[in-house]
Amino acid sequence: MAVFLVVPAHLCMICFQNHHFTVHDNKLGDICFSLRYVPTAGKLTVVILEAKNLKKMDVGGLSDPYVKIALMQNGKRLKKKKTSIKKCTLNPYYNESFTFEVPFEQIQKVNLVVTVVDYDRIGTSEPIGKVVLGYNASGTELRHWSDMLASPRRPIAQWHTLKDPEDEKKD
């Protein structure tokens, strides 16, 4: 079940400020979300804020994107959640919050896989791209995860460039 909430303007600004605006050959798109961990309660909150410049997946040159979030440990999916579907857009706005129960002893042993998927009424929904965060991540994904752990109870928002969903080396 998705919970809708109003995100303070400063979080959107953080997304804007933390994004590295570089010209790159990425054709999959970018996603902005916040992470918040409360160690005393063992709660990890992920707020999917928005995505932009998503790859065109439908015949009409658009997509019907939604976001899947999977909490993984040792290659096994512990929990999964997903956003609503945004029809006919390459720049969806979600602002949807999801909470996972992750005890403090476990937070350094889990991965979070955020996958943007193009919904298809007929046939199979196709993944557009994904981001893997957690204990064995690297680059901006590891930085986001580390920033979250270093700032308990505070939401940390960041943009991520989607990676090829077929790249299984980090799952």
What's the pLDDT tens digit per position in 88-125? 999 999 999 999 999 999 999 999 999 999 998 887 89
Which pLDDT belongs to residue 168?
57
Position 165 pLDDT exceeds 60: yes
Number of domains comprising the chain: 1
CATH of the domain at 156: 2.60.40.150
Position 24 scores a pLDDT of 44
Range of the domain at 47: 29-162
The separation between CA 90 and the C-alpha centre of its own chain, rounded to angstroms, equals: 16
pLDDT value at residue 102: 97
Does some domain include residue 158? yes
| Per-residue pLDDT tens digits for 15-53 | 444 444 434 455 899 999 999 999 999 999 999 999 999
Q: Decide if 105 is inside a domain.
A: yes
Burial 86-105 (b: 16+ CB within 10 A, else e): beeebebebbbbbbbebeee
In-domain check, residue 58:
yes
Query: Pick the residue with more confidence: 1 or 112?
Result: 112
What is d(CA 144, CA 138) in angstroms, rounded to the nearest whole number? 10
Mean pLDDT rounded to a whole number for the chain = 86
Helix H, strand E, coil C: the string for 20-49 is: CCCCCCCCCCEEEEEEEEECCCCEEEEEEE
